[in-house]
A = this chain, B = another copy of it.
Amino acid sequence: MSKSEGIPAPAVRRLSLYLRQLEALRETNLHTVSSKQLGQALRFTDAQVRKDLAYFGQFGQPGIGYDVNELIARLRSILGTDRTWRVLLVGAGNLGRALLAYRGFGKRGFEIAAVFDTDPAKVGKPSAPDFDMPVRHIDELADAARDLQIRLAVLAVPAPVAQSIAESVVAAGIRGILNFAPIALHLPPTVTVVNVDLAVQLEQLSFNVSAGIAPSE
């Protein structure tokens, strides 16, 4: 239960980036990598890399570096992506359909197992042209979450209904929500919410571009 205690969220985010970089290095048949090499492409110092990894245990050998395959396996295990996570998608609008088609999820072990909406024009129809999976009514969500033992949901619903839908999703046993609605959800502290607000991210760009300064993420 104490796995993530005291570990800063940015360090966890960087683990994802290290993992991606390691996978790219493995494609080039590299077997070992130093913290410097690992940080380089991502513009992090070797000290940063070592510090981030140190939160999670002992990795690599001084003077030799990290075994690429071993570090990939350990990072996947830490991030919980050494298994497949089934995810519920709530909202079958444009964004929901784009997410269904987004290959990045499947590649990283996330599988959209069911799609929900309230729109009678969508319920019972295929969720997207290339997806046979029919859209189900949101009233069936609690049953589906229990039957499929799902703990993660993606919310691609309009802002005005997001809070009430999030509450019913949580009541259905969901413990992690990726929220695309541009509002702050108020949920019990046992639920993790990651917000994706695309306009906020564009605002970061307009801030930097109007300031004439360009810090990267």
Contact = CB atoms under 8 A, between A and B. Distances in A.
A4 interface: yes
A17 interface: yes
B178 A192 contact: no
A113 B104 CA distance: 27
A168 interface: no
Secondary structure of the A contact surface, majority rule: mixed
Given A202-B85, A204-B16, A195 B217 contact: yes
Contact of A211 (B3, B154, B189): B3
A42 interface: yes
Interface string A151-176: 11010000000000000000000011
A61 to B, nearest CB: 26
A95 to B, nearest CB: 5
B213 A4 contact: yes
B101 A203 contact: no
A67 to B, nearest CB: 21
A217 B9 contact: yes
A202 B178 contact: yes
Contacts of A80: 203, 206-207, 209-211
